[in-house]
Structure 1
Amino acid sequence: MAGLECSRRVRPMALIAFLFAFFTTGSSTAQVPLLMWSNDGLPQLASPAAGHITSREQLSAYLSSALGSGPHTVLLLLQDKLSKDDFTVFGGVFGNKQDSAFQNLEAALHSSSSSLVLPALAWPESSALPALLQEQLGVSPLLVDLDTLSQLNLSASVSNLLLINLPSHTGSYESRKEVLHRNDEMIGEVMSIMKAKNVPYTAIYTGLQPSRVISEMSMSSQPVGRTLLQNVDVKPPIMFNANNTPCIMLWAQSLNVSFTGGSQWTDFALQTPSLTGSQCNGSSSLLVLTYPNATLSFAMSRQFYSVSARNWFTLDSVQLQFSGQTASFIGSRGIYAPAEYSFHCESVSSFRDALLVPNNTNQNTSQWMVNFVDFQIQGFGVSNGNFSYASDCAGFFSPGIWMGLLTSLLMLLILVYGLHMIMQLNTMDRFDDPKGPSISVPQSE
């Protein structure tokens, strides 16, 4: 039932229009909005996933839970054409709220005990809504107008399905808004009549077809380049608390370890470790990650450097215990940051641009390889359970920057050489006079 949204109390029309705009789907399937409210209560449902199109099966399941037990009086307000754009353009969202074309509808939603908002109901599923309600209630729909509705004798002991057709609109902006406003006035009169009858009811407002269909490429069969953060499964960082206070944090996309020269890797980031043995104080921190068959230890220290007049922390060593063997690596270069920062690096490895150097005192270390991908660690100054600003290991002058600088320097040298050659050109100090006597060269026989 992920395509349904239910709230105990509906907010103003600006929120409804925002919901419709937010849940706009990237599909070629046409949709119509559906609003449902009741003075007798509706079942609560989980919030829908963004971009979801409610199918007939999902709507039928919800109607079965909402109308399945006991008699119900249902008012079906059918408009020939209705779209999400009607609420965003004519709902007073971008202008004066008093100029909204849905003031009575907003008041009905606001005063109801519970409501349901379906921003995208699959069309032509909405055209089968009367038959779906007839199946749920077990009664045939009765087409009524305002006069007939006011004269009906409704009873809460029997089910009633009342169908009220609302006029459709034309294509122009003014006439469309006027018709929507007139339909809203009809909805207000219907609500006044039902309030006077004092009968529990459920009202549904939707359209037989969308007033505007925007065809877009279906995203269900295309690779998605960017997804909503709420749908991305991001694992939380590893956090060690001392005296109920966050002390050490570590996050990595993968913690790869290999004993066979890189032919076979083990990723410990896929497992949940125990932090037994970890400790921290003002000058040193030790993070111990204990797995079922291995242990990773990160030793860090903090020290004041008078040259920079600030405290810095360094990752001094990484120790690995796996299958009864022990290997240790020294963070000899590059793994440091200001004490109040965290350290981040895209790759921390012992074999390629190595930031971790095997410790020669341990003979087994040379047989091991480690590679930590998207690695971030902070051993001091952790606050609010979040990483501090990250000091990245990437150098300022990347290969691309160096290539650009060298190319620019080469072009500058060519330009300087050309200017130098032009400045060395001299004007000739003697010229031949074409009007003077010609030069005769005597010939000897």
Structure 2
Amino acid sequence: MTSLRLRAQRSSKMATAPVSSPWLSATRLVLLGLLSTFSPVSRGDQVPLLLWTSGGGQTLTPPTAGHIVGQQQLSSYLNTALEEGPKNVVLFLQDQMSMEDFTLYGGAFGNKQDSVFPNLESALTSSSSRLVLPAVSWPASNAVIGQLQDQLETSPLYMDPETLSQLRLNGSSAALLVFRLPYGVGSDLMSAKDVLSGNDEVIGQVLGIMSVQAIPYTAIYTALRPSREAPSLSSESVVGGGRALLQARGGYKERERERERQRKMKQKAGIYAPVEFKEVDSTCILLWAKALSVSILRSGSWEEHDLTPSTFGEGVEPRLHGSSCDKNKARLVLNYENVLGHRSFKLVFAMTQRYYKVSARRWFTLDAVELEYDGTRATFNGSRSVYAPAEYSYRCQSVTNYRWPLLVPRSIKDPSNQWRVSFEDFQIQGFNVSGGDFSYASDCAGFFSPGIWMGLSTSLLIVLVLTYGLHMILQLHTMDRFDDPKGPAISVPQTE
């Protein structure tokens, strides 16, 4: 117990030590930044952020110990760094990262041979302008791409080291190069160490290419979300001693699995209300789905984002500004933030109602499903498959653009070819809504499905075979004369 207290006191003293020497090693810099967060403030929803430049730049003052950097303060840091620093930004965006990754695998306690960040440490040590933010709220880090895009006034380029080696950059013009880095934790903790070591090699390759091209750059290393949940430092765990604290740390995975199980049970058992858009206190558009998800193709793999928690559920109020409806047209706009690295993201359902002379009735069609993100629009055409009588709602078990697609890209060059959308147990109504309930649903699966047609055709074939066999049996005739072996042989005249 005494040794634990001495260690805690020593850590607190290190946390308050100033980090001002430019020649301080990168490992100690990262370690001091991490230890500075050992405070009563909860750090379960924070990720670290490291920033450095290859050339000159303004020296940035790190926040005080225990301070959590929000989106506004992070934007101020980025503005300051880009005002005088290089305008070519290299963003290493990892899927998940927490401060514990540096303390566990960074060789922070003097064992340099076990460090998995040699290239990162070398870059930080050689940079005269660097900034270490140990605790950045993950929504702020998730919006880094959007902030950099606004400040540089350029679109991000998702790249890999091989593509970068073939690209010729211009030091006078701004560029935002994004390198996505994976992160995975399996049953063996060495798997995370191997992944981080591979990510550090990618960082080394990218920085080496930038050095060969003699292009000054500003590098940022952060993540979309934390990889670990901080252990609870409640009074009970402190009083219980070091054993209870270790048990709390070791039970993290079990707690996560239990929370995930409880969340799935609630989603399975819960029936939430549909999205409802009103015009002059009258409901005109209804939308409901069991699951809404979008995916984008990056570096040869699909990255998925689930929009369901932000659209449906108890206490969830989706933002519908931009939606409209009248007698002939309806437009439902779902507004989101920070979807797959895009700061602004919209999911749009455009519907029209027309009168068709052939059927002598009015029908409504889902003309388009649009994805609007950071000034770009991807459009899927759904008018050929998604339709229903104007008095009905439309329902389908699965509406996608890749598996039995009901939605198709508008053209070959449309950005929608890089996206996947998936709506499960989907129901929508844009006209003739009575109250807040859906009208009778017109299902996308007709009465005679392919399975039913196959069964009917097989049954018909079997009936035809049995009928033919019965007909052949009925054509058989019994002989009217029989030969008696004990009597005289039957003589059959030739004239008969």
Asked which structure has the greater RCO (Cα within 8 Å, sep 6+), the reply is 1
Q: TM-score, normalised by structure 1?
A: 0.46
Who wins on radius of gyration, i.e. which is larger? 1
